[in-house]
Amino acid sequence: MQAKTVTVPTLKRLPIYLTYLKHLQEQGREVVSTTHLSRVLKQDPTQIRKDLAATGLVGKPKVGFDVSKTIEHLENFLGYHNTNDAFLVGVGNLGRAIMGYLPFVEKGLNIVAAFDNNPELIGKEIAGIPVLTVEKLTDLAKRMKIKLGILTVPESVAQDLTDAMVEGGIQVIWNFVPTRLMVPDSVYVEYTQLSSHLAVIKKKLQSIK
Amino acid sequence: MQAKTVTVPTLKRLPIYLTYLKHLQEQGREVVSTTHLSRVLKQDPTQIRKDLAATGLVGKPKVGFDVSKTIEHLENFLGYHNTNDAFLVGVGNLGRAIMGYLPFVEKGLNIVAAFDNNPELIGKEIAGIPVLTVEKLTDLAKRMKIKLGILTVPESVAQDLTDAMVEGGIQVIWNFVPTRLMVPDSVYVEYTQLSSHLAVIKKKLQSIK
DNA sequence: TAGATTGTTAATCGATTAACAATC
DNA sequence: TAGATTGTTAATCGATTAACAATC
């Protein structure tokens, strides 16, 4: 079956299935039913079936899904085997963590250079990634045809550096700064807003005290 | 007007409004309309009005919302002025980044201790936070009546340390590990799945190439 | 075969968006 | 007053969940 268009909610659940399937594989399980996945992952079995079907997977009635094949299929679908080059802008705490975060390397994220305006960092290497001055950002992005930029700067300079990335031809920005960025329609911004998660957590804490 | 029950999507948008309102405040703006917010934040104005109304805010027809009062109100509503004590478990790259992440401090997250099993880290301080052995986690959580735990360990030990937290009476877990955690119904888990965001980003990159 | 599981259509649920009267 | 904006009810949209026939 051909892969249909996959919705964002589905796309976000796939990596969760994948980690659990790998766990099963390590234990030597060969097949798994969505009924089982449903119990463990606490999600509706129909939803899991629809999610898998959306990637083009087919299961066997009465049997379930082949663990190894499903892993292989999902990894291909998510593009874990082909790497994407990226620039990281803002070598603070969070930036450094992302630069050295192994799970991203395993999933095919390849940060080729990082940028900062701190003279003490420029010229150094962090987690094997060279740190360059932000002045080189736009030109280098053009020259290297970089399509993905990861933004981990303080809020005050977020828009300026976004502009620099956009000018350099970057088309997808992973934004960790708690601000909306202004970008042309052609540029996609993926927002990872830790403050939003914190808001949910604090509300929850209020209600249980 | 009284604050109604606020949905999670609404809760997650409030911090975004807040950062932009502070930006306006710095520029000396005294009032703002949801029409204006809508243009800048690229969100439906009705949604913004509903979100604000859900927190108990009222605006002035023809005028809009008072910037300073709205900021004050939202900060109170989100509990930025009263701190929540938390334990952080797993002092790797990501854990360290969170320990030193200023925006969390400003929003009232107070990490009082961190835990790891690496002997080289134990006894040290990182960003002013003491690192202790994971063996002390459960007892100390009980004694200090800690309600919030932040989980930034490798996947292989995530469930074990979750169990340790739950046994220590922790009721809310902020999980950065790309796995579902098994917890009793009384425990709430907030999932921040960076792998899910990466999945969305990689798909986007595939489509623009 | 009987029963478990898949795959799909239909129903439900909840969030977003549209329409519009009320208000300063 | 006229017009912009709020606040709210109604309509829409999309995602989740339920029901159930098809399948091995």
Nucleotides of chain D touched by protein CB (<7 A): 3-9, 14-19, 22-24
pLDDT digits (tens, 9 = 90+) for B157-190: 999 999 999 999 999 999 999 999 999 999 999 9
Q: What's the pLDDT score for residue B2?
A: 44
Sign of CA dihedral B2, B7, B9, B11: positive
Q: Average of pLDDT values for A75-87?
A: 97
Query: What is the share, in percent, of chain A residues with pLDDT greater than 90?
Result: 96
B27 close contact with A: CB closer than 8 A: no
pLDDT digits (tens, 9 = 90+) for B118-159: 999 999 999 999 999 999 999 999 999 999 999 999 999 999
Using the beta-carbon criterion (under 8 Å), do B16 and A180 form an inter-chain contact? yes
Indicate the pairing of strand A129-133 with strand A125-126.
antiparallel
Nearest to B76 by CA among A26, A193, A202, A191: A202
Residues of B in contact with A96 (CB under 8 A): 93, 97
Nearest CA in chain A to B173: A201
Whole-number Å distance between alpha carbons of A171 and A154: 21
pLDDT digits (tens, 9 = 90+) for A125-176: 999 999 999 999 999 999 999 999 999 999 999 999 999 999 999 999 999 9
Q: What's the pLDDT score for residue B175?
A: 98
Whole-number Å distance between alpha carbons of B47 and B37: 11
A64 three-class SS: strand
Q: Average of pLDDT values for A30-55?
A: 96
Using the beta-carbon criterion (under 8 Å), do B205 and A147 form an inter-chain contact? yes
DSSP B67: H
Average pLDDT across chain B, whole number: 95
Whole-number Å distance between alpha carbons of A15 and A133: 34
Q: What's the pLDDT score for residue A2?
A: 44
Q: What's the pLDDT score for residue A209?
A: 75
